[in-house]
Structure formats: C-alpha cells, structure tokens
Amino acid sequence: DLPRPSISAEPGTVIPLGSHVTFVCRGPIGVQTFRLERESRSLYSDTEDVSQVSPFASEARFRIDSVSEGNAGPYRCIYYKDRKWSDQSDYLELLVKGEDVTWALPQSQLAPRACPQ
C-alpha cells in the first residue's frame, strides 16, 4: 500500500488576512501528482511540479499569495503514484486572522477556542 502523505503550512496555520501561505504536501519518492483538497473532494488543485527533497521523500508546494476569509478551513493532501491515488493525509485547519476576528470554516464543526494575540 502507498504510505499516507503529510501536510504542513508555512509559515504556519494562523495567517493574517492578505498574507501568503504555502501548503507543503510530502510523500514517497516517485509521486507523479500531488493534490491539495479543500474540505471535500470537490475543491482541489493538482500539481505535477514535484521535487525530491531526500532519498526517500518528495513534496509539492501550493502557495496562496493573499489569503482571504474564504481560504479558511480544512485542507488535506493526496498523491498519485503507480497508477493509483494514496489515502488522504490528516486534515490541516487553516485559520485566517483579521483585525479583530478569526475565520475558521465550517464553524458548526469547530469548538470555540481563543486565538492568542
């Protein structure tokens, strides 16, 4: 079976409105396509711009130049290798921080939590 990919965000998962964020999807060597999925499988972007970062790992980077409240929410990665898709990574929750409000969608599924200043 294909190992599950991992997902991380640079510089982090709490991004000020209008700043940039880069999602990093990482998987094994030989990945042909990485896919960044948003909340459900219906919202996604694919890239074949895959780089080898070690003898055992490859990754792809998905950059959002200027985040808006619409970018908040859960993201996950999958990849395509050996003519099949991998399992999904864990979800990564992107929080978008405005002047006095933090967007995290969908609110209905999230427990209230304080946002450190």
Q: pLDDT band at 109, cuts 50/70/90?
A: very low
Q: Which structural domains are found in the chain, ordered by start? A: 6-97 (2.60.40.10)
d(C-alpha 69, C-alpha 102), whole Å:
8
Q: pLDDT band at 39, cuts 50/70/90?
A: confident
Q: pLDDT band at 116, cuts 50/70/90?
A: low
70 φ, ψ to 5°? -70, -15
Beta strands in 3-86 (DSSP E): 6-10, 14-16, 21-28, 33-38, 43-47, 51-52, 57-64, 73-81, 84-85
Q: Which of the pair, 46 or 109, is modelled with greater confidence?
A: 46
